[in-house]
Amino acid sequence: MSSNVILRDVSEDDLPIYFEQQLDKTANYMAAFTAKDPSDKVVFKAHWEKILNDERIIKKTIILNGEVAGQISSFEQFGEPEVSYWIGREFWGKGVATRALSQFLNVVNIRPLYARAAKDNIASIRVLEKCGFRICGEDKGFSNARSEEVEEFILKLPL
């Protein structure tokens, strides 16, 4: 397992890689709360244009050994600061998410900070818990990726 994970500012050149990563059906299933149609490039581009133009959103590209492994961001959702990440499936199981989140938490010093994960996304829950997040609640919502209502945990990184 390599520890050469770095975060850098998102570049427009990263977007085609993000787009390909989010087309993965298994990754969509695990993330649960995804775009209605991940293959819609117009919606994808509009979504990322909003993100890139919003200075309130902290967004970083995750690099592993020179390759774009995914992305991580912090934004306001439901009135609370939240963190979210997406790791390309080819990078799963290598500790990339844990190292990226750990580094990101040095950039984002807002506390408390929240995260959400589908209850069956054990790997993501473990990543969050390794970085100090604790389950503080539950919610549920419609999952486009699963075409059904999905239960999720709300996790909190305290002060």
The pLDDT of residue 3: 60
| pLDDT classification of 150: cutoffs 50, 70, 90 | very high
Mean pLDDT across 113-130: 97
Helix 122-130 / helix 96-107 crossing angle, nearest 10 deg = 40
- Among 154, 56, 87, 57, residue whose Cα is nearest residue 114: 154
pLDDT at 54 over 80: yes
CB 103 within 8 A of CB 4: no
User: Whole-prediction pTM value?
Assistant: 0.94
The pLDDT of residue 38: 92
Mean pLDDT across 119-143: 97
Q: Which residue has the tokens 């990440």?
A: 85
If DSSP states are collapsed to H, E and C, what string results for the chain? Answer: CCCCEEEEECCHHHHHHHHHHCCCHHHHHHHCCCCCCCCCHHHHHHHHHHHHHCCCCEEEEEEECCEEEEEEEEEEECCEEEEEEEECHHHCCCCHHHHHHHHHHHHCCCCCEEEEEECCCHHHHHHHHHCCCEEEEEEEEEECCCCEEEEEEEEEECC
Mean pLDDT across 142-152: 95
Q: Which domain holds residue 61?
A: 5-157
The pLDDT of residue 2: 46
| pLDDT classification of 88: cutoffs 50, 70, 90 | very high
Q: What is the CATH number of the domain that holds 120?
A: 3.40.630.30
The pLDDT of residue 159: 86
The CA distance from 136 to 77, in Å, is 16
The pLDDT of residue 98: 97
Mean pLDDT across 37-47: 95
Q: Total domain count for the chain?
A: 1
